[in-house]
Amino acid sequence: MDASTFWWIVTGLTVATELLTGTFYLLMLALGLAAGAVCAHLGLAQTTQLVVAALVGACAVLVWHRTHPAPSKQKTEHNPDLHLDIGSTVDVTKWASPQATLVVHRGAEWSARLIQPGLPEGALPSTGLHRIVAVEGNTLVLSKI
């Protein structure tokens, strides 16, 4: 069997394994294996093929790892990776009770509650713009801006 054929078979098996597992790290290693196949096509020595495959694969994995950090370990309710609404602003026109109201966000009506320490008992919070700091089920958790 030709050296380049071996490299391409191993590359194909790595890509197939990546498709089954869904990890991009195997795809980056497959890039290194493909580089080894190209070196074999160019007639370079086996040692050079191995070194180039290892370097390209390792560099691709490092670049992928640095540009795609691990998911946040925050609680689900406060994780902006899971709730794209976190950080958005809503306009509160009135408060139904000292801690709860209904707001319109993205064209739909949402329940909302306020996190505001030090608010006097029974006093209604101020209206205006509030920032979404968490999403708990179908309730937006707001903070005054």
Ordered structural domains, the chain, with CATH: 3-67 (no CATH), 76-144 (2.40.50.140)
Write the DSSP assignment of 76-125 as a string of letters: GGG-TTT-TTTT-EEEE---SSSSEEEEEETTEEEEEEE--TTPPTTPPP
Reduced to 3 states, what is the DSSP secondary structure of residue 135?
strand
Q: Which position has the token pair 């089920």?
A: 137
Put residue 93 in one of left, alpha, beta given phi > 0 → left and psi -120 to 50 → alpha: alpha
Q: Provide the pLDDT confidence category of residue 128 given band limits of 50, 70 and 90.
A: confident
The string of pLDDT tens digits covering residues 70-93 is 666 667 777 777 777 888 899 888
pLDDT at 94: 86
Q: Per the structure block, which two tokens stand in for 46?
A: 């086996």
pLDDT at 72: 60
The amino acid at 65: H
Per-range mean pLDDT, top range of 40-54, 62-76, 100-114, 125-139: 40-54
Do residues 106 and 83 make contact, with C-beta atoms less than 8 angstroms apart?
Answer: no
| pTM score, whole prediction | 0.52
The amino acid at 130: H
The string of pLDDT tens digits covering residues 6-60 is 999 999 999 999 999 988 889 999 999 999 999 999 999 999 999 999 999 999 9
Do residues 92 and 130 make contact, with C-beta atoms less than 8 angstroms apart?
Answer: yes
Q: Is residue 88 exposed (0-12), middle (13-18) or buried (19+ Cβ within 10 Å)?
A: middle
pLDDT at 124: 75
Q: How much is the average pLDDT of 1-6?
A: 91
